[in-house]
Every structure is written in structure tokens, then in C-alpha cells.
A and B are shown apart, each in its own frame.
Chain A
Amino acid sequence: QVQLQESGPGLVKPSETLSLTCAVSGYSITNSYSWGWIRQPPGKGLEWIGSIYHTGGTSFNPSLKSRVAISIDMSKNQFSLTLTSVTAADTAVFYCARQLRWTTVFKDVCYFDYWGQGLLVTVSS
């Protein structure tokens, strides 16, 4: 059974960098698939932040691209998110998830099948 678990600080100061890690168990992240980050501000909807292929290639939400980085640590079977220059608007529950993502002749496949439980990160001084 594939399981994902987010970890990191629950409180970050404005203008600082948010760093989160997602530990994956039950599957080797280097085998296949993409691995993504999604956030959800309190009382609001889901927002895709970005994803990384098992090979290391990345794609990001255009609205966050200038502040986001995602990386893979093969030795620990985990992947990480950094979000720079945070403000109160970045306060959210952050989810990591496994993403099935590939192109076909007809329509691309692109969805999340396994999710972590989520981690609330508050940006406040």
C-alpha cells in the first residue's frame, strides 16, 4: 500500500522560506510516476503547486513558478517543496500526492491517486 506523509514546520514567518518534505512508503519514487504538491487555504479550494517526474523533470503552477522548487531525494525515498518569500496568503494545508501523468495520442493522463494526510502551515510573525 502506497503511503505519503508530509513533514515540516507548522509556522513560518513572513518573507521567509517554507520547506516541506513528503516521505513515501510502499513504492520507490524512482520507479515511475510523478510526485506533486497541492495546497488548500483554510475554507478554500485546492490549488496545484507543482510536480516532479521520477526522472527529476518539474512543472509548476504559473502563478507560483517564480517562488517554487521541488526536488527528489532518492536515497530517502522522499521529495521536497520549497516556497520562498511567503506571506499570510500562503497559509494553507499542504498535501503531497502521487500523480499519474503521461501523454497519449488522444488525451493526456493527469491525476492524483494517493494523497498524504495534509499539513497545516501558518505564515505569521
Chain B
Amino acid sequence: SYELTQPPSVSVSPGQTAKITCSGDALSKQNAYWYQQRPGQAPILVIYQDNKRPSGIPERFSGSSSGTTVTLTISGVQAEDEADYYCQSGDITVTLFGGGTKLTVL
């Protein structure tokens, strides 16, 4: 099916590592992208083409891919990382978003 599935929520303590997964058949054929969205703000791209980091995004953000699952990893989580995270994939005809994961920093 052409859907992307994310866990609704992930919680971690400051300084720990957060892993957010995204699953879907499309991911075995197409790249994955990750966006961070803080409350009341527009999304910001944090990972593109599975594991590339845009300029200005901290090194603690990384991405990986295996089969039909991609993972966003945030190492040494900081309070400012608390936000909603969305995976996205697609081709030149269709763009698809996951349902989003709320990251809570305890």
C-alpha cells in the first residue's frame, strides 16, 4: 500500500538517543525525507535522500534506511528537539507524508 506509518509518539530524556521509524512499501523504491515541526511553525527539512543533512541542521540528526523502513535518529536529544516529526516520500507524480510522531523530551 502507498502509505507511510509512524508511531504516534516517542519519549526520551535529555541527552539520550531518540529513534523515530517510518514504514511503507514506497520506501523500498524511493527516498525518504524528514521534517521537524514545532508548534505553530512551518515544517523544516532535517534529512533528505534518506541520510543527508541540510546545511544548518545539527549533526545529532541522522537518517538511515533498511528495506521498507527508514529511521530518524537524534543523538544527545536536547529540549529544543521536542516537536512533531514527519517522514515523506514519493516520486515525480505523487508525494506522501507519514502521520507524524510527537517527540517528547522528558
B96 within 8 A of A: yes
Query: Is A95 interfacial (CB 8 A cutoff)?
Result: yes
Chain B's closest residue to A95 (CB) is B42
Separation in Å of the B93 CB from the closest CB of chain A? 5
Q: Which residues does chain A contribute within 8 Å of B21, judged by CB atoms?
A: none
Contact B95 A36, beta carbon cutoff 8 Å: yes
Cβ distance B89 to chain A, nearest Cβ, rounded Å: 7
- Which applies to chain A's interface (DSSP): helix, strand, loop or mixed? strand
Interface size class of B (residues with CB under 8 A): 20 to 34
Any A CB within 8 A of the CB of B24 = no
Q: Mark B70-94, 1 if CB is under 8 A from A, else 0.
A: 0000000000000000101111111
Of B31, B41, B92, most buried by chain A (CB within 10 Å of CB) is B92
Q: Which residues of B contact A (CB under 8 A)?
A: 29-31, 33, 35, 37, 41-45, 48-49, 54, 86, 88-100
Query: Could you tell me which A residues sit within 8 Å of B by CB distance?
Result: 36, 38, 45-48, 51, 59, 61-62, 95, 99, 101-103, 107-113, 115-118
